[in-house]
């Protein structure tokens, strides 16, 4: 069974307003997305009204009606509430607009209501004083009884709705091939047209919104039309049907009977309350005139912003005009016209959980006793028990419970903090749980207790100094100094002085003797970062320290002994440097006792959320902000980015985002544009937030041009062929974007 109301995948944002407002809870949630359950749905349309995300969509029949208009004779049948919907346009202008659209005839469903009223009078005479009758012009009420109160089916008056009555009348008088299209504010009419008990009377149903869309497609303005005439006989009191109690008023039931035996029920809550009372034997009026939407003037697809009271007045005034002259055509139309129908039990037998099942589900949600049952309604269900029953029936998910979600988030946050604390405690400021980092931790554990020289390899920004510190602080030398120096930051003469120290007067400016870093690190650890950048002569002196454990200060001749553990690091390929002659092989072999490779951030993306949270907390403390976390889009961009600057770049990006962030979460727009675009390239699509339409188009054009030029090795004729462009067009675009082999990389980084 297909559903009249569809959910647009991905638009549902888990607010559960649809469940909260669905009178029969005919919506289930699967993986956080709402779905209408057609077997339970009564097609009232309230979920469409309350969905702020516009994720609910009524199935459109515009294409079907357009096909009818092109190939068939078609009648438009306007629901009586149309006069309020299109006010201040004249009713006759709506008629003329429909004729311009191609409808052969235009009828008021109010005439069908007049026929139904006459049939009701006949039926009431047949049943005499029978009690508990429920009127059936409202298909939502019929659906509600058939699916949820089947015991009351026998009390439904077996007469068709006005729309079906008019449809049968037109099929009888114009022929069965004549197409009938109902236009109104009712979603349930779409379901009714497919009901096998009345199918064939109405061929298609348009909501007022669909009707307006068809007018827009054709460029037709209702208020610009001449005043036209309906094709139906006068409807008399039939125009009162969209107002609560309209049926009994049109039937002319005497006031004393109205006061004592007839009950008007309108509104979804009122209808449910009444049917429950009747089902339980607490109330038995002779006739209950029921409308689900507080009258059809308040139907779910009504778009006019007038108040309910003004709509009621407009309809009443139009009905008053329809009373001029005696009613005609009803008796002739009723002759040989079948306006009766049957109803059937359409209830769905959902599994019922035992008390033990309910308690077990509640326990999963942390609700161990009545005091834990908050009955907050955030999930859309009136009570925690109702929600647990829905979970058992497959209609709901545990994650819909807001207190449960908050508790889970608190636990998750606490767990992450504990994990972060544990990781910090074990390995200093190193953060990460990925397999690659687990291997790093394993090697640190093994290497730290020894005095072996360690060579740390990895790209810039991967955290090589943090690893060196972790080795030191887990070693037997942890109480002694840890001294570090970046060998690439100083020229050769200054670097030698920094490492080995100098005597007073050793060179101009050496006004006093100075200890070198080897002496400062005595009995501790010396970390030599970017070891691959030191000169060959200095490499020889460093080799002596590693081999002999002694060095000579600049300006002295006597060697000094030290006990230092050396940890070196580089982002260069030292084996390639050996082949080039820029690095001494003997020093390499002396350093390469234990090699520890640090993976780039792009190869351990699983660590990015943990690192991002770590840097977020640090940055918030520095700038005095309280930012809770990241949006899903921002975190996705962080995870997808290529990170050429590795962890250092991530830290800088997070600090920048914290400074720019104006809310309580880092958003995608808070991240640098170049990072968003690098992430987009990895994801295969463009983050265009912050770009104008023209900028986004230009960015995409440049991407295509660069890709084709790279594939063709900058042979323009070949690139033009790949792109399907003329050579002259390609040349023009290259000039416009100033693309050349020299500028391509810069253009790609700065503009894309």
CA separation (Å) from 146 to 135, 247, 345? Answer: 13, 21, 5
Q: Express as a percent the part of the chain with pLDDT over 70.
A: 90
Buried b (16+ CB within 10 A) or exposed e, 710-743: eebeeeeeebbeebebeeeebeebbeebebeeee
Q: CA angle at residue 165 from 161 to 166, to 5 degrees? A: 120
- Which of 249-258, 312-321, 573-582 has the weakest average pLDDT? 249-258
**Contact between 611 and 431 (Cβ < 8 Å):** yes
Q: Greater confidence, 410 or 322?
A: 410
Q: Are residues 593 and 529 in the same domain?
A: yes
> Do both 213 and 91 map to the same domain?
yes
Residues 187 and 254 occupy one common structural domain: yes
Which of these, 426, 58, 327, 40, lies nearest to 207 by C-alpha position? 58
Residues 141 and 224 in one domain: yes
| Residue 36 scores a pLDDT above 70 | yes
Query: Is residue 212 assigned to a domain?
Result: yes
- Model confidence at 350, pLDDT cuts 50, 70, 90, reads very high
- Tell whether 80 and 178 lie within a shared domain: yes
Whether the predicted pLDDT of 166 surpasses 90: yes
**Mean pLDDT (the chain, rounded):** 87
Last residue of a domain, one of 599, 618, 636: 599
Asked whether residue 409 carries a pLDDT value surpassing 70, the answer given is yes
In this structure, what CATH number is given to the domain that contains residue 503?
A: 3.40.50.300
**pLDDT per residue over 286-303, tens digit each?**
888 899 988 888 889 988
Q: Is residue 119 part of a domain?
A: yes
Lowest mean pLDDT among 77-86, 531-540, 591-600, 743-752: 743-752
**Residue where a domain stops, chosen among 576, 599, 622:** 599
Let me know whether 104 and 199 are in one domain.
Answer: yes
Three-state DSSP class for residue 514: strand
| Distance of alpha carbon 619 from alpha carbon 655, whole angstroms | 5
Whether residue 611 lies inside any domain: the answer is no
Residue 679 has pLDDT above 80, yes or no: no
Ranked by mean pLDDT, which of 197-206, 358-367, 468-477, 481-490 comes out on top?
A: 197-206
pLDDT for the residue 58:
94
Question: How many Å apart are CA 691 and CA 686, to the nearest integer?
Answer: 10
Q: What is the C-alpha separation between 624 and 495, in angstroms, rounded?
A: 39
More confident residue, 278 or 329: 278
pLDDT for 582: 93
Give the pLDDT of residue 443: 93
Q: Which CATH number do you get for residue 747?
A: 1.10.10
Return phi, psi of residue 136, to 5°: -130, 30
CATH at residue 373? 1.10.15
Does any domain span residue 311? yes
Q: Are residues 277 and 391 in the same domain?
A: no
Q: Is the pTM of the predicted complex or chain greater than 0.75?
A: no
What are the start-end ranges of the E strands in 31-172? 33-36, 56-58, 74-78, 105-108, 133-134
Q: What mean pLDDT is predicted for residues 119-135?
A: 90
Report yes or no: 19 and 381 within 8 Å, Cβ to Cβ: yes
Going by the DSSP 8-state scheme, the letter that residue 234 receives in this structure is P
Q: Which of 241, 163, 162 is nearest to 202 (CA)?
A: 163
> Of 32-41, 64-73, 186-195, 475-484, which range is least confident?
475-484
Q: Kindly state the helix (H) or strand (E) to which residue 484 belongs, with its residue range.
A: strand 482-486
Residue 409 shares a structural domain with residue 499? no
Looking at the domain assignment, is residue 525 inside a domain?
yes
Identify the top-confidence range among 193-197, 601-605, 717-721.
193-197
Token pair belonging to 66: 């357009």
φ and ψ at 165, to 5 degrees? -60, -45
Any domain includes 170 = yes
261 and 400 both lie in a single domain: no
What pLDDT does 583 receive? 93
Q: Is 564 helix (H, G, I), strand (E, B) or coil?
A: coil
Q: Is residue 580 situated within a structural domain?
A: yes
Domain membership of residue 657 (yes or no) is: no
Mean pLDDT computed over 265-291 = 90
pLDDT in the model for residue 752: 38
Q: Parallel, antiparallel, or unpaired: how do β-strands 560-561 and 565-570 relate?
A: unpaired
Specify the pLDDT at position 681.
63
Write b or e for each residue in 524-540: b if 16 or more Cβ atoms lie within 10 A of its Cβ, otherwise e: bbbbbbbbbbbeeebbe
Arithmetic mean of pLDDT, 305-322: 87
**What is the band of 492 on the pLDDT scale with cuts at 50, 70, 90?**
confident
Domain that holds residue 105: 62-334
pLDDT at position 427 is: 58
141 and 177 in a single domain? The answer is yes
Q: 222, 98 in Cβ contact below 8 A?
A: no
Mean pLDDT of 429-446: 88
Q: Over range 615-620, report the average pLDDT.
A: 93
One domain, residues 368 and 315: no
pLDDT confidence of residue 703: 76
> Is the pLDDT confidence value at 523 over 50?
yes
Residues 283 and 367 in one domain: no
**How many domains does one find in the chain?**
4
Domain end point (choices 415, 437, 472): 415
């Amino acid at each position: 069974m297909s559903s009249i109301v569809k959910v647009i995948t991905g638009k549902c944002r888990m607010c559960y307003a649809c469940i909260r407002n669905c009178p029969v809870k005919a919506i289930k949630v699967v993986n956080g997305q709402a779905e209408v359950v057609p077997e339970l749905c009564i097609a009232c349309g309230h979920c469409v009204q309350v969905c702020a995300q516009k994720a609910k969509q009524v199935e459109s029949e515009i294409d079907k009606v357009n096909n009818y208009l092109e190939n068939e004779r078609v009648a438009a049948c306007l629901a009586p509430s149309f006069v309020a919907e299109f006010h201040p346009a004249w009713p006759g202008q709506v008629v003329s607009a429909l004729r311009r659209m191609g409808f052969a005839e235009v009828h008021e469903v109010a005439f069908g209501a007049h026929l139904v009223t006459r049939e009701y009078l006949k039926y009431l005479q047949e049943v005499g004083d029978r009690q508990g009758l429920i009127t059936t012009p409202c298909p939502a009420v019929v659906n509600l009884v058939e699916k949820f109160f089947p015991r009351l089916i026998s009390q439904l008056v077996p007469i068709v709705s006005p729309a079906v009555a008019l449809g049968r009348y037109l099929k009888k008088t114009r022929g069965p091939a004549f197409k009938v299209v109902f236009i109104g504010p009712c979603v349930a009419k779409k379901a009714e047209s497919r009901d096998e008990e009345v199918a064939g009377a109405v061929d298609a149903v348009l909501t007022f919104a669909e009707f307006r869309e068809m007018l827009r497609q054709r460029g037709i303005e209702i208020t610009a039309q001449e005043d036209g005439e309906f094709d139906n006989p006068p409807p008399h009191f039939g125009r009162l049907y969209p107002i609560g109690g309209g049926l009994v008023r049109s039937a002319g039931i005497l006031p004393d009977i109205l006061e004592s035996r007839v009950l008007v029920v309108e509104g979804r809550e009122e209808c449910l309350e009444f049917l429950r009372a009747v089902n339980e034997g607490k109330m038995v009026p002779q006739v209950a005139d029921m409308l689900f939407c507080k009258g059809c003037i308040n139907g779910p697809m009504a778009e006019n912003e007038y108040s309910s009271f003004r709509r009621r007045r407009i309809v009443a005034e139009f009905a008053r005009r329809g009373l001029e002259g005696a009613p005609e055509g009803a008796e002739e139309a009723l002759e040989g016209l079948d306006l009766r129908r049957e109803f059937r039990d359409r209830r769905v037998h959902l599994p019922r959980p035992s008390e033990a099942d309910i308690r077990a589900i509640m326990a999963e949600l942390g609700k161990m006793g009545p005091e834990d049952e908050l009955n907050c309604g955030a999930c859309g269900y009136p009570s925690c028990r109702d929600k647990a029953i829905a979970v058992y029936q497959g209609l709901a998910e545990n994650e819909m419970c807001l207190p449960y979600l908050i508790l889970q988030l608190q636990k998750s946050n606490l767990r992450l903090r504990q994990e972060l604390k544990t990781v910090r405690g074990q390995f200093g400021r190193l953060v990460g749980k990925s397999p690659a980092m687990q291997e790093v931790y394993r090697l640190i554990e093994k290497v730290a207790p020894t005095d072996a020289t360690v060579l740390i390899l990895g790209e810039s920004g991967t955290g090589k100094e943090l690893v060196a510190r972790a080795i030191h602080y887990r070693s037997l030398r942890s109480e002694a100094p840890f001294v570090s120096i970046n060998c690439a930051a100083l020229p050769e003469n200054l670097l030698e002085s920094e490492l080995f120290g100098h005597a007073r007067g050793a060179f101009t400016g050496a006004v006093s003797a100075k200890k070198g870093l080897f002496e400062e690190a005595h009995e501790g650890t010396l970390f030599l970062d970017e070891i691959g950048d030191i000169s060959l002569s200095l490499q020889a002196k460093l080799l002596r320290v590693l081999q002999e454990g002694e060095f000579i200060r600049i300006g002295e001749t006597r060697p000094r002994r030290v006990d230092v553990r050396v940890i070196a690091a580089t982002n260069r390929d030292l084996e390639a440097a050996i082949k080039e002659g820029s690095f001494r092989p003997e020093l390499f072999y002396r350093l390469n006792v234990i090699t520890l490779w640090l993976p780039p951030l792009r190869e351990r993306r699983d660590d990015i959320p943990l690192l991002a949270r770590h840097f977020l907390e640090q940055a918030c403390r520095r700038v005095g902000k309280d930012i809770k976390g990241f949006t899903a889009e921002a975190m996705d961009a962080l995870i997808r980015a290529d990170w050429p600057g590795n962890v250092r770049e991530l830290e800088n990006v997070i600090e920048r985002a914290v400074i720019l962030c104006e809310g309580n979460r880092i958003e995608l727009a808070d991240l640098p544009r170049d990072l968003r675009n690098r992430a987009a390239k990895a994801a295969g699509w463009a983050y265009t937030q912050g770009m104008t339409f023209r900028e986004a188009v230009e960015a995409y054009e440049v991407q295509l041009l660069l890709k084709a030029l790279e594939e063709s090795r900058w042979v323009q004729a070949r690139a033009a062929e790949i792109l399907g462009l003329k050579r002259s067009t390609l040349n023009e675009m290259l000039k416009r974007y100033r693309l050349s082999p020299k500028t391509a990389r810069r253009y790609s980084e700065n503009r894309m």
